[in-house]
Structure 1
Amino acid sequence: MNTEKLQKVLARAGLGSRREMEAAIGAGRISVNGETAKLGDRISDDARVTVDGRPVTLMSSQASSRRVIMYNKPEGELCTRRDPEGRRTVFEHLPRLSGERWIAIGRLDINTSGLLLFTTDGELANRLMHPSMEIEREYAVRVMGDVTMEHVRAMVEGVMLEDGPARFTDVQEFGGEGINTWFHVVIMEGRNREVRRLWESQGLTVSRLKRVRYGSVFLDKRAKAGEWTELNQQEVDDLSELAGLEKRKVPALTPDEKNRWNRDKNKRRPVRGVKSPEAARTTTQESKPRRSDREEARPITPREKRNEKRSDRGNWSSTAPTGNRRSSGGGDKGQERRGSGDKAQERRSGGQKGNAGAPQGRKGGGRR
């Protein structure tokens, strides 16, 4: 009787990747024929398997489906099914399946955006993630700091990180100005924050990080940020070949699945913390619309036109009638003449400044 490793069968059933299934077996969550499973157990097709007490329908290697979707992850989303803090996860955006689950092919941290692949085939996911397969991952990186050839040479030759040696297989400058320059880098494994840590080992900081390629799949315009698209038969075959698996026909969607996927298709939710252009306007701008906006809203009435003409005459018109402008101006000139008489009196009195009689002399000069 043919047998297979338990974690491999569970991954093929769409319960998770092999690594996740190994963790579940180690935690005692898996039972086979009524007994708690152990790492290294092998099972046959007729075995009775439960996960957390729930029976699992096993699939042969030929019966399991192989769908793959490409998701364009925005910053701020987690690569987990559920978050205890209620933060947004990538699985909230994916199309719903009947009897299967989406398995993430690799992860991206919360501050990294770009290409994520999901599949229903656990074996495909495991092989594409395993370091021994050396599947290329390409990232676009914006770096703060002056990058020199010595920095690039060190990262290509390899540096020692906390969890072992790491290196880029390729580093190419990709534009930008000043201290913020874009690079494209290629790496063969997917350790936690490995791209960022490689740059940090050279005293440089990554300000933006986006995955643009995984193996043979490039991020393209079919999926904008927060959207997904299903890969076609040729794209799935190329991934299968990279993983060393036999090609398998992508099953057609049933009418119910088509309707459900159409409802779920690209159901975008705004990323928290990002405002729309209208919402980004300042309060002052909102409270004071432009004149052209008011004119477009309604025509100006004759009374409003008269009021505008009055207001254009200046602030003085609100306190003094127009007929009093001459007398008001004449009074000012007379006051100036009285002021000149005061100055003459000061000269006759000897130009004494600060004298107690000086104000009286200025008054007398004014009366003459």
Structure 2
Amino acid sequence: MTAPTRTLLSLKRQAAADHGPRLEERLHKVLANAGLGSRRMLEQRIEQGEVRVNNEVATIGTSVGAGDRVELDGHAYVVASDRREDAEVLMYHKPEGEVITREDPEGRPTVFDNLPRLKGSRWIAVGRLDLNTTGLLLLTTDGDLAHALMHPGTALEREYLCRVHGEVPDEVLAQLSAGIELEDGPARFEEIAPISRGGSHSWFRVILREGRNREVRRLWESQGLMVSRLKRIRYANIELPRLLRRGHSQALDAAA
């Protein structure tokens, strides 16, 4: 199935004040505004139980607000406020050796050194990648948007390529898919697919629905295996552009 052209669903109504009640809008209207069908057709699909909000089946009259996660046709979307006329979203291809902090006490290079300069705002990283992990890092000038994309309740997919030292038995793959207990709670790979397997090392494509610290590496380490290379290639429906070089960034339409 072709991936949708949007990851975010926008609320078109405006709140009366920044600190007023949570802004909500009817689900079928939000979906229709995103071009996912007519309001009448979407109401029918909601009535038939084909749409889920925050992991629960939606019903006619369901309303959604910023941060809610909507699932339709196997794809996940995050609802965000539409008060982002000046907001920017950036895709950055992080190389090894860069930290995701503005100032590092050890003097290591940071991703912010390579980002476009802003006036009157600043870049906010959507999640983190550890020092030796490369690949897609999203940044935005909108704090609410960053929070919505990172919130555990949205359970957006993060896809990685990883090279693992040594032989990896099928039993290990089954265990990592079924789930294990880490020091900060249960964890599992939503999907794990071999790319190449050999005696000295193997490559895998793995998918998570959360972003805990070093979670991919810790999952493999729980089975006595070490990850020697790790690269994030997708966050939700946003893929790392093939032509985007390491250490470079590319603007993304915030409605994409």
Normalised-by-shorter TM-score class: 0.5 to 0.7
1:4 paired to 2:19: yes
Establish whether residue 199 from structure 1 lines up as the match of residue 217 from structure 2.
no
Deviations 1:236-286 (A, max 9, x none): 324xxxxxxxxxxxxxxxxxxxxxxxxxxxxxxxxxxxxxxxxxxxxxxxx
Output the amino acid matched with 1:220.
P
Q: Please report how far the alpha carbon of residue 176 of structure 1 lies from its aligned counterpart in structure 2 after TM superposition.
A: 5.1
Query: Which position in structure 2 is the counterpart of 1:148?
Result: 169
Task: Determine whether 1:210 maps to 2:231.
Answer: yes
Matches within 5 A, 1:116-195: 116-175=137-196, 177-195=198-216
Q: Which amino acid aligns with 2:255?
A: D
Matched, 1:89 2:110: yes
Structure-2 residue corresponding to 1:66:
87
Give the C-alpha shift of residue 221 in structure 1.
Answer: 2.5
Greater per-residue helix proportion = 1
8 Å Cα contact 2:84-2:142 kept in structure 1: no
**Counterparts of residues 282-361 of structure 1 (less than 5 Å):** none
Larger radius of gyration: 1
Aligned-partner Cα distance in 2 for 1:77–1:116:
12
Distance across 1 between alignment mates of 2:120 and 2:95? 28
Report the Cα offset of residue 66 of structure 1: 2.3
Which amino acid in 2 is paired with 1:190? Answer: G
**Which structure dedicates a bigger proportion of its chain to strand?**
2
Report how far residue 65 of structure 1 moved. 2.2
The one of 100, 121, 145 equivalent to 1:79 is 100
CA contact (8 A) 1:83 1:89 kept: yes
Partner of 1:99: 120
The runs of 5 or more residues in structure 1 that have no matched partner are: 6-59, 239-368
Q: Which has the higher contact order (CA 8 A, sep 6+)?
A: 2
**TM (normalized to structure 2)?**
0.67
| Alpha-carbon distance in 2 for matches of 1:179, 1:229 | 36
Taking the aligned partners of 1:195 and 1:83, their CA distance within structure 2 comes to 24
Q: CA RMSD in A?
A: 1.7
Report the CA distance between 1:3 and its aligned residue.
5.1
Q: Structure 1: how far apart are the matches of 2:84 and 2:240?
A: 29
| 3-state SS in 2 of match to 1:4 | coil
TM-score by length of 1: 0.47
- CA deviation profile, 1:150-187 (whole Å, cap 9, x unmatched): 10111111100000000100000112533211000000
Q: Which amino acid aligns with 1:4?
A: H
- Contact 1:64–1:121 under 8 Å retained in 2: no
> 2 CA distance for matches of 1:131 and 1:180?
32
Tell me if structure 2 keeps the 8 A contact 1:139–1:213. Answer: yes
SS in structure 1 at match of 2:255:
helix
The separation in 1 between residues aligned to 2:83 and 2:183, in whole angstroms, is 41
What amino acid is aligned across from residue 177 of structure 2 in structure 1? V
Count of matched residue positions in the alignment of Structure 1 and Structure 2: 181
Query: C-alpha distance in 2, partners of 1:175/1:161?
Result: 27
Determine the C-alpha separation between the residues in 2 that align with 1:67 and 1:2: 22
**Is contact 2:126-2:146 (8 Å) kept?**
yes
d(CA) in 2 for partners of 1:104 and 1:87?
A: 17
Residue 63 of structure 1 and its aligned partner are, at CA, apart by 5.7
Letter in 1 for 2:235: Y
